[in-house]
Structure 1
């Protein structure tokens, strides 16, 4: 089973540096992994498209214990070939979490015709389908039930049609408003209780929420994909990784000034 997240960056070299530093396995698609920074840049300059988004980022995470780093990297390369034809890509496989995961970095500009790579939320489902097909071909499990970022019941839909919000929507809105500030599931639970009176129950498999005006808990799976335990956990992990990436960049940027001031690296 593999899950997919999408992102992009205006500074491809920083993303590549971060992903490469922690890689257990790496491999390139239409580009040797060791020359990714230079080749990505050369392609963008060749077509005169150096501004804006420089690279797209796909995180492909696998079920713990289901793949080796080598197999994960091979699947990541196959996925890159399928979803980004004509674009250089490099796949970095990380093993520093319980789940092995790929960081797939795709050059924003095609080396074939100079076209820009297009990636949006609607493309997320197409990429998931491609990932599922590759996993099935390797005998791996997939998410069998269709998922949605937000999952509405018939009762909720009826309220929405009348222009009213449901108590479940209030929970969703509360989570959305603070998950960018939270650093972990326990921290999210603490802030939900402190700010909105919403109780949270975390189990090994699920996360559930209880609105202060209602007596029963509702699982994140009933609220939608965006509110499931695995999705929220991945978001917090990605947020930590982004902060580490920014911290590394600041240290790197500050190093020359420190050398000039002290004469020492």
Structure 2
């Protein structure tokens, strides 16, 4: 596994060149120059600066390519890899570069010292984060092609999980670690915690800015700006200069994605979750409403059934001449049951068992014919029912139930009785048919048994005859 790092050093270019070319750290074969000679590199770089009159400012850039101590690679191969990376780095075209591979430590690593002045045009080295990332990507691809390990994001050089707090500046790192332990107060940490809290609930950029303002932090989020700037309003009001921090700094310090796209993506997720919760709540409410409507509908159905029961009881009372009692449910249901058990047949002729008690209601018998007095009594009661005028207490229900309703109830009762009688007759016929079928099957089984017995006796007689003819039987 190889990693690329940019080294920040306050040493001069001469000291840097002397350090990377020390004999105890490297060998002659592991030192190379790009656009320069290793033996005269110090003079050549200084001459280029003097030639273009740029001896001040930053005089060089320093980079290191390091391999893990467990990586199976030789110093020669590591040096060849470093030279190849230097040759293919576009930003280093026209700049003297010294490459030296060190083998004095537990891991092999190569140093790059790049002159800050271009010997072709005198321009200073323009080096960006994109250039550094490109160099790292080419280093990783080189390791893949050679079957070497590639570093993983979020892990250290040794493969361990990286700490949450990271800073390039040592003072900043120490300050953040102290704030993490609660030893000092850091507005940077407070802003980072507030951003992480707000991003979990807000559903839009406007809502995010509003909640951050309520916490005492200003947010400068503009589409024309690359980064988001957070401001501690209290520190700003007190005149302190250190009161602002950008989202990219928070990302570096805490290894958390605070980018614009990441935040807006989180806002969209929160909005969808809220919409789903709202829809679920609305569906539950509608279901409750439907359940309530169904219960009300059931209550209406029960009320209509109760009214029908009352009307039926009124019809029965009209026939018998009794007073209607709407509040007495047991009496009403008893009268309805009596009406349903009434069994008149064609022409009010009822079947009854001969010799039954003449005091019973006509039509309650199950067999036989009714006598003439019973028939006259049934017709007389029907005529009385049709011509009956209810008493004063029954006037209101009687107006709801006319002669037509009464005759309808009676016809329904007749139809039910006739249907029941037909089913009983059909059931009796079916029983007779089943009994006849069983008798036939028993007779057939008995016949087959007798035939089998006769055949067995015949075969036995044949065997005895054959035995006598051969003299076997004694």
Place the TM-score, normalised by the shorter chain, in its bin.
0.5 to 0.7
**Deviation at residue 79 of structure 1 after TM alignment:** 1.1
Distance 1:178 1:75, change over 3 A: closer
**Paired position in structure 2 for 1:107:** 115
**Deviation at residue 109 of structure 1 after TM alignment:** 1.2
**Deviation at residue 30 of structure 1 after TM alignment:** 1.4
Q: Does 1:135 align with 2:143?
A: yes
**Paired position in structure 2 for 1:39:** 44
CA-to-partner distance for each residue in 1:200-234, whole Å, 9 max, x for gaps? xxxxxxxxxxxxxxxxxxxxxxx988889xxxxxx
Q: Does 1:76 align with 2:82?
A: yes
Asked whether the 8 Å contact 1:63–1:99 carries over to 2, the reply is yes
Scaled by the length of structure 1, the TM-score of the pair is: 0.55
**Paired position in structure 1 for 2:12:** 11
User: Which residue, 196, 203, 207 being the options, matches 2:181?
Assistant: 196
Asked whether the 8 Å contact 2:167–2:252 carries over to 1, the reply is no
Q: Mean alpha-carbon deviation: is it higher for 24-33 or for 4-13?
A: 4-13
| Equivalent position SS for 2:62 | strand
| Equivalent position SS for 2:101 | strand
**Paired position in structure 2 for 1:23:** 26
The structure in which a higher percent of residues are helix is 2
* Residues in 2 aligned to 1:226 and 1:120: alpha-carbon distance in whole angstroms: 20
Asked whether the 8 Å contact 2:167–2:253 carries over to 1, the reply is no
5+ long unaligned stretches in structure 2: 157-162, 184-249, 256-474
5+ long unaligned stretches in structure 1: 150-168, 183-187, 199-222, 229-265
CA-to-partner distance for each residue in 1:53-94, whole Å, 9 max, x for gaps? 111111100122322111111111111112212211111111
Asked whether the 8 Å contact 2:116–2:124 carries over to 1, the reply is yes
Runs of 4+ in 1 over 6 A off after TM superposition: 223-228
Distance 1:53 1:148, change over 3 A: farther
CA RMSD of aligned residues (A): 3.6
The total of aligned residue pairs comes to 174
* Residues in 1 aligned to 2:251 and 2:74: alpha-carbon distance in whole angstroms: 30
**Paired position in structure 1 for 2:382:** none
Tell which structure's C-alpha radius of gyration is larger: 2
Distance 1:44 1:134, change over 3 A: farther
**Paired position in structure 2 for 1:2:** 2
| Equivalent position SS for 1:56 | strand
| Equivalent position SS for 2:21 | helix
**Deviation at residue 50 of structure 1 after TM alignment:** 1.0
Scaled by the length of structure 2, the TM-score of the pair is: 0.32
Distance 1:178 1:146, change over 3 A: closer
Q: Mean alpha-carbon deviation: is it higher for 36-45 or for 115-124?
A: 115-124
Asked whether the 8 Å contact 1:82–1:130 carries over to 2, the reply is no
Following superposition of structure 1 onto structure 2, how do residues 69-218 of structure 1 map, counting pairs within 5 Å?
A: 69-83=75-89, 84-143=92-151, 145-146=152-153, 172=165, 176=167, 179=170, 196=181
Distance 1:148 1:34, change over 3 A: same
* Residues in 2 aligned to 1:88 and 1:38: alpha-carbon distance in whole angstroms: 11
